[in-house]
Amino acid sequence: AGYGLIGPLESTTDGILVTDGAGRITGFNEKYVEMFRIPRELLEARAYEPLRKAVSEQLKDPQEFIARIQEIETSSLSESLDVLEFTDGRVFERYSKLQSVEDRSVGRVWSFSDITERNRAEIVSQRLAAIVNSSDDAIVGKDLSSIVTSWNAGAERIFGYSASEMIGTSIMRLIPPDH
């Protein structure tokens, strides 16, 4: 464990960075080093500005990243939550919490979670939903009890029932009684 590593926080799956509010890094964990692919020497130098610059160069919108950090640091926000989009496609969620001692700010803890896969899954889900919703074909979902759980515009057009009329009712409603 080199200088600046935060021993108790090594077991977390989040990358952790601690700053003192005066432009210095006071701690970090190994996960942070791995996530941001930053040379350890940059963190161990304790200067926050070169680190911000190195991180910003990896992001889709470096200026917005720097501006948002400055906004967080100069505001009285006790907590913040943002999403960082990297040029290589990774997506991180950034959470920060102000650290106080006797009502005096002593710095901030920054926590980073890699949400790349969750973000990709949401995009795929949104695309599939758009395909289903825009299809001219009837696309109907039901559970194992034959209760309708989804009903697209194509189903409305073909069967004549609206989604609000069908969702929550039995699919058997569509089958003629003599069948």
Amino acid identity for residue 11 in this structure: S
> With the C-alpha atoms ordered 37, 39, 42, 44, is the resulting torsion angle positive or negative?
positive
- pLDDT (tens digit, 0 to 9) for every residue of the chain, 179 residues total? 344 555 555 556 899 999 987 889 999 999 999 999 988 888 889 998 999 999 999 999 999 999 999 898 888 788 999 999 999 999 999 999 988 777 777 889 999 999 988 777 777 778 887 887 788 888 998 899 999 999 998 899 999 999 999 999 999 998 888 88
108-134 pLDDT, tens per residue? 999 999 998 877 777 777 888 788 778
pTM for the structure as a whole: 0.63
